[in-house]
């Protein structure tokens, strides 16, 4: 029985440990040099010694239960290849920051919240000396804390929602999580501003100021002020990393991998855990990983982890309800605001593509070139689909988010690497 776990963050670590403990021959594939994922960055984690850990490794293609892996330095043509044949797979590929576009968001000095966090925790670097943090969700608080720890002055923490909605769900909350969040809130309260947002970044070659707006509940602008900064960090929740799930054929619901209580997806032998199944944080991800890893290895029912999953999901639902993305952000855009950073597709270009009666995601992409650049829509896809759906509101909705996650080659590969693959691997 071989279980392959993809992703070495909290969910994948727990899944690999549980699968090995249940007696499966377990392989953990992770793209980072050390384990821990984004959450534990700067604090490398260990995994059960029985697990074969493939570091610096990425699953770039999936054919049934055959996984194609490259191992080596990031983007290096000298990576080596391997094919893993799995009896069960646990997808724990996590999520990356979702950012809604605004004028100037492509200026150097504007970073995602995840970048600010990774640079602070992993590299000891502050993205700036005078920083405004903006977006929505509890993740903004630990990011602001990390920025302060590396010497940045955090001028504002702007949450476009009220940010306190989750306090209205005390039965849903885990006491430890509430205490952690309240701790941040106390330490950071002087900078925290509910119902505000960075709606524009200014500068020539680098950001030197932002427009911070007070918002209505629908995120339209009430009033604005200009603040001098040397960096901005933005995060509007997270987008799951779905390429492998989509390629494997897993059913999605509301943009996440649909799972049963065991973590089983709609595809036999494929399990999923952590943020690819819904945004819930590291504790929930670890509990889901334990459940899915155990189920994948056909181990005995982990009842404590299952109970943690149930309570964690209630808390996650309360947090999600408190941090919606409201359509008022569309009113922040100007004609020349870039939506697709790679292909330099503006809001005006998207409008023109929809006006041409783009009949679905494919024609919308081919007409406007949105999502066809280097990042393949990973950064802008969600926003582009939201904009297109809003603009085409008087017509049938053709646009589905999964269409922007369809990437049969899940991670960039060099042609020389493809050419060097042994024939039996193709």
Partner 1 sequence: MRVTIDGVPSQAAQGQTVAGALLAAGRTSWRTTRHAGKPRGVFCGIGVCFDCLVTVNGVADVRACQRVLVDGDDIRTEEP
Which residues of this chain interact with partner 1, rule CB under 8 A? 31, 33, 38, 73-77, 96-97, 106-112, 114-119, 122-123, 125, 127, 205-206, 341-342, 344, 373-375, 378-379, 412
Query: Closest distance between partner 1 and the C-beta of residue 322, in Å?
Result: 25
Within 13 Å and on the Cβ side, how many CA atoms surround 383? Answer: 30
Query: Closest distance between partner 1 and the C-beta of residue 33, in Å?
Result: 6
213 φ/ψ angles, rounded to the nearest 5 degrees: -115, 145
Element (H, E) at 66: strand 66-71
Element (H, E) at 129: none
Render the burial of 269-301: b for 16+ CB within 10 Å, e for the rest.
ebbbbbbbbbbbbbbbbbbbbbbbbbbbbebee
Q: Quick one: 83 or 107, whose CB is closer to partner 1?
A: 107
Q: Quick one: 208 or 311, whose CB is closer to partner 1?
A: 208
Element (H, E) at 50: none
Query: Closest distance between partner 1 and the C-beta of residue 406, in Å?
Result: 16
Q: Quick one: 75 or 335, whose CB is closer to partner 1?
A: 75
If phi > 0 it is left, if psi is from -120 to 50 it is alpha, else beta; for residue 340 that is: beta
Query: Closest distance between partner 1 and the C-beta of residue 355, in Å?
Result: 21
Element (H, E) at 65: none
Contact, 251 vs 260, CB < 8 A? no
Residue with tokens 């021959």: 25
Tokens standing for 404? 């922007």
Q: Quick one: 95 or 391, whose CB is closer to partner 1?
A: 95
Query: Closest distance between partner 1 and the C-beta of residue 419, in Å?
Result: 16
Query: Closest distance between partner 1 and the C-beta of residue 116, in Å?
Result: 7
Query: Closest distance between partner 1 and the C-beta of residue 290, in Å?
Result: 25
Nearest to 54 by CA among 80, 31, 21: 31
Distance CA 41, CA 117 (A): 9
Distance CA 330, CA 110 (A): 19
Q: How many CB atoms lie within 10 A of CB 18?
A: 29
Q: Quick one: 74 or 182, whose CB is closer to partner 1?
A: 74
Query: Closest distance between partner 1 and the C-beta of residue 341, in Å?
Result: 7
Q: Quick one: 26 or 112, whose CB is closer to partner 1?
A: 112
């Amino acid at each position: 029985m071989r279980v392959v776990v993809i992703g070495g963050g909290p969910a994948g670590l727990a899944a690999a440990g549980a699968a090995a403990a249940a007696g499966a021959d377990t392989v953990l594939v992770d793209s980072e040099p050390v384990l821990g994922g984004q959450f534990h960055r700067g604090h490398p984690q260990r995994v059960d010694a029985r697990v074969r850990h493939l570091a610096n490794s990425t699953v770039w293609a999936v054919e049934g239960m055959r996984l194609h892996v490259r191992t080596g330095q990031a983007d290096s043509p000298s990576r080596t290849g391997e094919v893993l044949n799995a009896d069960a797979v646990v997808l724990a590929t996590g999520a990356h920051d979702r950012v809604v576009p605004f004028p100037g968001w492509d200026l150097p000095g504007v970073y995602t919240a995840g970048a600010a966090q990774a640079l602070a925790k992993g590299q000891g670097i502050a993205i700036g000396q005078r920083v405004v943090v903006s977006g929505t969700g509890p993740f903004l608080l630990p990011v602001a804390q990390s920025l302060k720890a590396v010497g940045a002055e955090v001028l504002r923490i702007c949450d476009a929602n009220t940010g306190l909605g989750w306090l209205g769900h005390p039965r849903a909350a885990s006491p430890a999580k509430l205490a952690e969040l309240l701790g941040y809130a106390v330490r950071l309260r002087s900078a925290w501003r509910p119902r505000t947002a960075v709606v524009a970044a200014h500068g020539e070659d680098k950001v030197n100021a932002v427009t911070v707006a007070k918002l209505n509940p629908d995120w339209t602008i009430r009033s604005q002020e200009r603040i001098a900064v040397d960096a901005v960090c933005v995060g509007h929740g997270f987008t799951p990393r779905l390429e492998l799930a989509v390629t494997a054929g897993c059913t999605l619901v509301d943009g996440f991998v649909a799972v049963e209580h065991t973590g089983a997806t709609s595809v036999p032998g494929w399990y999923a855990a952590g943020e690819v199944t819904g945004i819930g944080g590291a504790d929930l991800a670890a509990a889901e990983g334990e459940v899915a890893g155990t189920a994948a290895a056909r181990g005995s029912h982990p009842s404590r982890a299952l109970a943690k999953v149930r309570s964690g999901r209630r808390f996650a639902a309360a947090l999600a309800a408190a941090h919606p993305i409201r359509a008022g952000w569309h009113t922040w855009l100007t004609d020349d605001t870039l939506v697709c950073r790679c292909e330099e597709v503006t809001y005006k270009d998207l409008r023109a593509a929809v006006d041409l009666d783009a009949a679905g995601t494919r024609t919308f992409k081919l007409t406007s070139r949105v999502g066809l650049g280097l990042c393949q829509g990973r950064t802008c896809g969600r926003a582009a689909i939201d904009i297109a759906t809003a603009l085409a509101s008087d017509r049938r909705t053709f646009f589905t988010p999964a269409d922007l996650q369809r990437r049969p080659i899940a991670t960039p590969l060099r042609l020389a690497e493809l050419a060097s693959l042994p024939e039996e691997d193709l």
